[in-house]
């Protein structure tokens, strides 16, 4: 049996659930460093399940024989809220992640980072290791890019997300990023999923471009089963038969996932569209279908971008999209993280899964022409 526990238990709550397990004759063992999953071994008894279900620390009781559906939303279960700095995903909160496809140099990164933050993004994206279709394309600046991202975080206060391609890089990348990105091409890389699952760093898991929704959920299941509860699912479009857009954003999958899983779900309209003119309408469709946020490629000079330039929004286009997202969320009774009024309302909420980092008061970013 597995117990999925509430986030941030106090010592006495942890003690109380462990005591109940032992009193019922089980040997409990936490899976992973996040300590949100308790594996129970022992013969057990018929009434145990309901005793666990009644315990305030327990979110879900899972029988191992149920194919371990850790991603499933328990009946009337709440959303899991994943928090990265000021950004919150799920539970009525949406957030914008924005930045270049690939980190190209420090000056450009700082310019883009400052601008997307001012427009309402609460996480900076930027590829350091790029999984390009052709081995001859620009494959990223590697560890130098991670250092530039860390500088951008220092100067803007924005947490960073960057893709990890190889299980051997998980430790080094994890020391520098606030959230791992697992790309579409790696969604079913079991060793990579296991490795990020052993950490407590949030994981942005993108849907494989030819993966079913069930395969997508099972990929998330790997991360959860390894002990990391902080997973955000990202629908980024699947392969279609037409080349008008690069991929097809599966809005049906977003709506379905919001029902089927407690995990947050965001949309990536940039890789779905493959062209800047269609990014905003596709993004709005994703939010309307229930997405808890967006990841958007933004560049201060899209025509000069070394990777995915045709789909990059300019800074002004991103600002306009952010305004549209606020309007759509408000219509739906939801809120955008990072907005002053929304955040002050939030501070009076009793959301236990909330991060505590705050946006710095002074903006030290140098804007380069």
Judged by the rule CB under 5 A, the positions of this chain that interact with Mn ion are 101, 308
Give the residue among 63, 73, 55 at the shortest CA–CA distance from 6. 55
Cα separation of 186 and 199, whole Å?
Answer: 18
Find the residue with minimal CB distance to ligand PEP.
Answer: 183
Q: Is 127 in the site for ligand PEP (CB under 6 A)?
A: yes
Least CB distance from residue 42 to ligand PEP, whole Å?
42
Cα separation of 335 and 356, whole Å?
Answer: 18
Sheet holding 2-5, edge to edge: 27-30, 37-41, 2-5, 58-62
What stretch of H or E contains 285? helix 279-288
Widest CA span in the chain: 69
Cα separation of 296 and 85, whole Å?
Answer: 18
Q: Is 271 in the site for ligand PEP (CB under 6 A)?
A: yes
Q: Is 139 in the site for ligand PEP (CB under 6 A)?
A: no
Q: Considering CB distances under 5 to 8 angstroms, the limit depending on partner class, which of ligand PEP, Mn ion, none binds residue 306?
A: none
Nearer to Mn ion, 4 or 125 (CB): 125
Least CB distance from residue 185 to ligand PEP, whole Å?
6
List binders of ligand PEP among 73-112 (CB under 6 A).
101
Find the residue with minimal CB distance to Mn ion.
Answer: 101
Nearer to Mn ion, 310 or 355 (CB): 310
How many residues bind ligand PEP (CB under 6 A)? The answer is 10
Q: Helices (H), strands (E): how many in the chain?
A: 12, 15
Q: Considering CB distances under 5 to 8 angstroms, the limit depending on partner class, which of Mn ion, ligand PEP, none binds residue 236?
A: ligand PEP
Binding letters toward ligand PEP, positions 311-350, x by CB under 6 A: ----------------------------------------
DSSP 3-66: EEEPSS--HHHHHHHHHHHHHTT-EEEE-STT--EEEEES---TTHHHHHHHSTTEEEEE-GGG
Give the 3-state secondary structure of residue 125: strand
List binders of ligand PEP among 149-208 (CB under 6 A).
183-185, 206
Query: Which residue from 73, 236, 326, 334 is in contact with ligand PEP, where contact means CB under 6 A?
Result: 236
Q: What share of the chain is helix, strand, coil (3-state, %, to 5)?
A: 40, 20, 40
Q: Is 306 in the site for ligand PEP (CB under 6 A)?
A: no
Least CB distance from residue 104 to Mn ion, whole Å?
12
Nearer to Mn ion, 292 or 308 (CB): 308
The contact set with ligand PEP (CB under 6 A) reads 101, 127, 131, 183-185, 206, 236, 268, 271
């Amino acid at each position: 049996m597995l117990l999925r526990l509430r986030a941030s238990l106090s010592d006495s709550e942890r003690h109380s659930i462990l005591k109940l397990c032992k009193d019922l004759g089980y040997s409990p063992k936490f899976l992973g460093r996040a300590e949100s999953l308790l594996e129970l071994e022992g013969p057990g008894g018929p009434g145990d399940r309901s005793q666990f279900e009644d315990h305030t620390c327990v979110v879900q009781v899972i029988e191992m024989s149920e194919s371990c559906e850790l991603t499933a939303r328990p009946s009337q279960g709440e959303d899991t809220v994943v928090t990265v700095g000021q950004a919150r995903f799920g539970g009525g909160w949406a957030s914008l992640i924005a930045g270049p496809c690939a980190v190209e140099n420090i000056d450009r990164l700082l310019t883009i980072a400052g601008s997307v933050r001012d427009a309402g993004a609460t996480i900076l994206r930027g590829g350091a290791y790029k999984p390009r279709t052709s081995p001859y394309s620009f494959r990223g600046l590697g560890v130098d890019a991670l250092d530039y991202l860390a500088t951008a975080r220092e100067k803007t206060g924005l947490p960073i997300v960057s893709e990890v391609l190889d299980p051997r890089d998980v430790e080094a990348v994890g020391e520098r990023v606030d959230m791992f990105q697992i790309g579409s091409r790696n969604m079913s890389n079991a060793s990579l999923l296991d490795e990020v699952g052993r950490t407590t760093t949030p994981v942005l898991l993108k849907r494989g471009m030819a993966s079913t929704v069930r395969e997508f959920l099972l990929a998330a299941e790997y991360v959860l089963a390894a002990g990391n509860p902080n997973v955000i699912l990202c629908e980024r479009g699947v392969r279609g038969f037409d080349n008008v857009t690069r991929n097809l954003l599966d809005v049906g999958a977003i709506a379905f996932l919001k029902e089927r899983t407690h995990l947050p779900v965001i949309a990536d309209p940039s890789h779905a569209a493959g062209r800047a003119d269609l990014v905003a309408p596709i993004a709005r469709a994703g939010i309307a279908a229930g997405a808890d946020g967006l990841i958007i490629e933004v560049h201060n000079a899209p025509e000069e971008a070394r990777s995915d330039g045709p789909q990059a929004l300019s800074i002004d286009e991103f600002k306009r999209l952010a305004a549209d997202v606020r309007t759509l969320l408000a219509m739906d009774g939801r809120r955008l993280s990072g907005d002053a009024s929304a955040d002050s309302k939030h501070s009076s909420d009793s959301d236990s899964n909330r991060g505590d980092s705050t946006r710095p008061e002074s903006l030290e970013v140098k804007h380069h022409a």
